[in-house]
Chains A and B, each alone.
Chain A
Amino acid sequence: MVFNFDQLIQSLPAGTTFVEYIIKMLIMFAIGGILIYLAIKKDYEPALLLPIGFGAILTNIPLTSIVSNPSNGDTGIFGVLYDATIANELLPVLIFIAVGAMIDFGPLFQTPSMIFFGAAAQFGIFATMMVALLLGFTLKEAGAIGVIGAADGPTTIFVGSAFGLDKGIMGPLTVAAYSYMSLVPIIQPPVIKALTTKNERLIRMDFKQREVSRLTRIIFPIIVTVIAGIIAPESVALIGALMFGNLIRECGVLARLSETAQTTLANLVTILLGITIGTTMTAQDFLTKNTLLIMLLGLVAFIFDTAGGVLFAKFLNLFRKEKINPMVGAAGISAFPMSARVIQKMAKDEDPHNFILMQSVAANVSGQLGSVVAGSMILVLIGRIVGM
């Protein structure tokens, strides 16, 4: 089919002039271009931002039928992919198998108390949900927006899909979740510095290295799945996938599957997830006031989560003899292992001989668990209120 100008005019959304349509298309091309630039030039989550950026360009080409045919409304190939992989929560669950296979819970067994930062740093999810409600979002939308703060892209998509949010919300939600995940090194340090004194940032923490038995590593993912399932049954899909991946890693007899989950599966799912989400970013759905608000609220959520972890550490220090470096609390978000690395770098900048990486990693893997449970609690509680 060649380009048909008359057909383009007929397919314009109601109330949109040709000039408005072209301007919006160019803005979306620019947004796609910026995402690709950030991926390639700045190395911000390139595996996701590049496919999302390209998808955003693809879907805004006039008269394209990749999502749906403008003349007869038939579902296009990316529309089919969206329905078959994101709307039914398939890809977020699959990516959790890959993430689980990548996680080493060893540091958490060395410093178990760090697990509480994985809970405290979820404060931002709920605080942001309240702000979103005040701004006029529905309970379902507000809950999904809050999850951005956990720095957990798959959980954000999972919650949004489970709530059946439309593509106009899912696009900005996903872009915000993954953009902020990649901006951890930029967002977290100023928040941490604003909430801590130099002396607090200089606190050193003891770390006693000890072996963790293989039996422990095998039993842990199984029992965690059962406990999480009892507390929040809706979490079983996500935490079950996460822990299944971890069991493959730790069982010691499935090295090839573990390797496949960490590389091939993760790569395949990432490619499909990125480009499919990108194609939901049509100008009509994306260039709205809600998109701007969601991006802003995502930032607020991220700041609240970081602050929640840091302030909880400071609170614990009121009662502890052995003080915790409050920066570790900020690693309780789910962006693994980026957040732990950022905290260690900050500690090293203050004192080149301060080593708090293991405690930060322990808090960071706890954040993975905490964000999945928090997302599941939102699903359970909001689901009950709205009668899902």
Chain B
Amino acid sequence: MDTELLFHGLEVTVLGLAGVFAALIAFYILIIVLGKIPVENKEQEN
């Protein structure tokens, strides 16, 4: 087994998972913020 390749794999794993969590944390904040936009009366009637 190529040790360098394994280290590259670990690098991709750690940074990849960090990237996925970072993106979804950003989406979470976005959802919380956008969720505060009130529903207009017209929309409720529809």
Q: Which residues of A contact B (CB under 8 A)?
A: 108-109, 112-113, 115-116, 118-119, 122-123, 125-127, 129-130, 133-134, 139, 142-143, 211-216, 219-220, 223-224, 227-228, 231-232, 366, 369-370, 373-374, 377-378, 380-382, 385
**Are the CB atoms of B16 and A374 closer together than 8 Å?**
yes
**Are the CB atoms of A119 and B9 closer together than 8 Å?**
no
In the complex, what residues of A have CB within 8 A of residue B24's CB? 115-116, 118-119, 366, 369-370, 373
Nearest neighbor of B44 in chain A, beta-carbon distance: A211
**Contacts between the two chains (Cβ within 8 Å), count:** 118
**Are the CB atoms of B30 and A220 closer together than 8 Å?**
yes
**Are the CB atoms of B26 and A373 closer together than 8 Å?**
no
> Given the complex of chains A and B, what is the CA–CA distance between A380 and B19 in angstroms?
11
**Are the CB atoms of A385 and B35 closer together than 8 Å?**
no
**Are the CB atoms of A143 and B12 closer together than 8 Å?**
yes
Q: Find the residue from A142, A228, A385 having the highest chain B CB count within 10 A.
A: A385
**Are the CB atoms of B34 and A219 closer together than 8 Å?**
yes
Q: Which residues of B contact A (CB under 8 A)?
A: 1, 5-6, 8-13, 15-17, 19-24, 26-28, 30-32, 34-35, 37-40, 43-44
**Are the CB atoms of B20 and A119 closer together than 8 Å?**
yes
The smallest beta-carbon distance between A172 and chain B, in angstroms, is 21
**Are the CB atoms of A213 and B38 closer together than 8 Å?**
yes
Nearest 6 Cβ contacts at the A-B interface: A126-B13, A377-B16, A377-B19, A211-B39, A119-B24, A216-B34
In the complex, what residues of B have CB within 8 A of residue A220's CB? 30-31, 34
Nearest neighbor of A214 in chain B, beta-carbon distance: B43
Nearest neighbor of B24 in chain A, beta-carbon distance: A119
> Given the complex of chains A and B, what is the CA–CA distance between A164 and B43 in angstroms?
48
Pick from B8, B28, B38: contact of A116, CB under 8 Å: B28
**Are the CB atoms of B20 and A122 closer together than 8 Å?**
yes
In the complex, what residues of A have CB within 8 A of residue B32's CB? 112
In the complex, what residues of A have CB within 8 A of residue B8's CB? 139, 382, 385
A sample of 11 inter-chain contacts (CB < 8 A) reads: A109-B35, A119-B17, A122-B20, A126-B16, A129-B9, A213-B37, A214-B40, A374-B20, A378-B16, A380-B19, A382-B8
> Given the complex of chains A and B, what is the CA–CA distance between A112 and B21 in angstroms?
14
**Are the CB atoms of B5 and A139 closer together than 8 Å?**
yes
**Are the CB atoms of A381 and B30 closer together than 8 Å?**
no
The smallest beta-carbon distance between A126 and chain B, in angstroms, is 4
